[in-house]
Structure 1
Amino acid sequence: MNQKIFINKAEASGIIALDLLNYKPTTEIVELDIKDHLFMGLIVKEKEFKESIAAVDFSVYNEKAVAIVCSVDAIIPPWALMMLMEKLAPYVVYADLNNAETVLLDLWKRRLMYADLKCFKDQKVVVRARADHDPALYLLAAGLLKPLVKSLMYGEIGLPKVIFKS
């Protein structure tokens, strides 16, 4: 009989996929609005600010990442941020003066930077394309993988865009 043998060319290519989604942080990110601790919702007055943050149960931020924002146009002196961080520090895993999206990206980039990528050494690697990922992640991945891999690609294993070959 005449049997046709199908060969999976993608599998036979030896290309390994790196999915950036595997490095997405799982830490819950919450926003803390400084506006709630401002005098009349507009300015920082030391006494009132101290009293306001002293009344907060910061344990609600336990094991969370905190994105510190100010939803009103107010000048926040650095000492006020330091006081706020002093209260948050025993509880949070990360805090930054940024919105939740930026904090997520920062944490994601940190996870990628500290990831053990040795398994990609001297391999043909394709970084999976995902429209919802920030382009900064691809920039970082390329920089981290370039010294390790034999070839770097973008897209999917079956139809990758070659970035470089050594």
Structure 2
Amino acid sequence: MATDTQGEIVNKVKQSDKLVTVDLQKYYDDTQRIGLDLKQFLFKGLILKEKDFREQLEEYDWEQYKDQYVCVYCSTDAILSKWAFMLVGKHLTPYAKEVFKAQPDEIIHELYTRKLESVDWSQYADKFVILKGCSDDERPVPDSVYLYATQKLIPHVKKLMYGEACSNVPVYRG
């Protein structure tokens, strides 16, 4: 902090147009993610019997997945053919926002990078950029997203830091 000519305290960090804080949480996708474990459609949770599998899929309530990201996986060691996932996808497509072959927490990186792809990273040219370090549990930012943002920022920034303006860790200086 510094004082101006009238003795008032001036926050030069806030006045600086070269210092920019980027909060990656604002790129979080709030669409609900839900998992669909295929073991419920398998004989003893392990064996895919095609006729039974198809019948169960026909009778299943797919509307419960309306406008959600659905993550299809199998929690057992069952060996499933690609067509099994395709059949599930056929049923989910009219309802789900999108279908993934993954656990729900495994798609966070993908959802972030989709939004970050549209960022004009050149807006940070010759700036001192801080990637905000604190995130809440409701909108987690995985390490992989910080890595992605770092790769996008380095060609443009004068300096890249992690944390907060008052306490940061230098990462890169161009």
Which of the five TM-score ranges fits, normalised by the shorter chain? Answer: 0.7 to 0.9
2:33 corresponds in structure 1 to 29
Instruction: Give how far 1:118 is off.
Output: 4.5
CA contact (8 A) 1:113 1:144 kept: no
Mean alpha-carbon deviation: is it higher for 62-71 or for 19-28? 62-71
Call closer, same or farther: CA 1:122–1:94 in 2, change over 3 Å. farther
Alignment of 1:52-67 (within 5 A): 52-67=56-71
Indicate whether 1:140 and 2:144 are aligned: no
Identical-residue share of aligned pairs (%): 32
CA contact (8 A) 1:69 1:98 kept: yes
In structure 2, what residue type is equivalent to 1:53?
L
CA contact (8 A) 1:154 1:163 kept: yes
TM-score normalised per structure 1: 0.88
Indicate whether 1:8 and 2:11 are aligned: yes
The SS at the match of 1:153 is strand
CA deviation profile, 1:6-28 (whole Å, cap 9, x unmatched): 12132134311100110111110
CA contact (8 A) 1:16 1:157 kept: no
Q: Which runs of 5+ in 2 are unaligned?
A: none
How far apart are the structure 2 equivalents of 1:114 and 1:36? 39
Indicate whether 1:162 and 2:170 are aligned: yes
Choose which of 16, 23, 28 in structure 2 pairs with 1:19.
Answer: 23
Alignment of 1:13-162 (within 5 A): 13=16, 14-130=18-134, 133-162=141-170
CA deviation profile, 1:113-133 (whole Å, cap 9, x unmatched): 333444333322110012653
The ranges of structure 1 where at least 4 consecutive aligned residues each deviate by more than 4 angstroms after the TM superposition are none
CA RMSD of aligned residues (A): 2.0
Instruction: Give how far 1:3 is off.
Output: 5.6
Mean alpha-carbon deviation: is it higher for 50-59 or for 25-34? 50-59
Call closer, same or farther: CA 1:117–1:92 in 2, change over 3 Å. farther
In structure 2, what residue type is equivalent to 1:20?
L
Q: Which runs of 5+ in 1 are unaligned?
A: none
CA contact (8 A) 1:29 1:104 kept: no
Instruction: Give how far 1:54 is off.
Output: 0.8
CA deviation profile, 1:14-70 (whole Å, cap 9, x unmatched): 311100110111110001010111123221111111111111121221111011121
**How many residues are treated as equivalent by the alignment?**
165
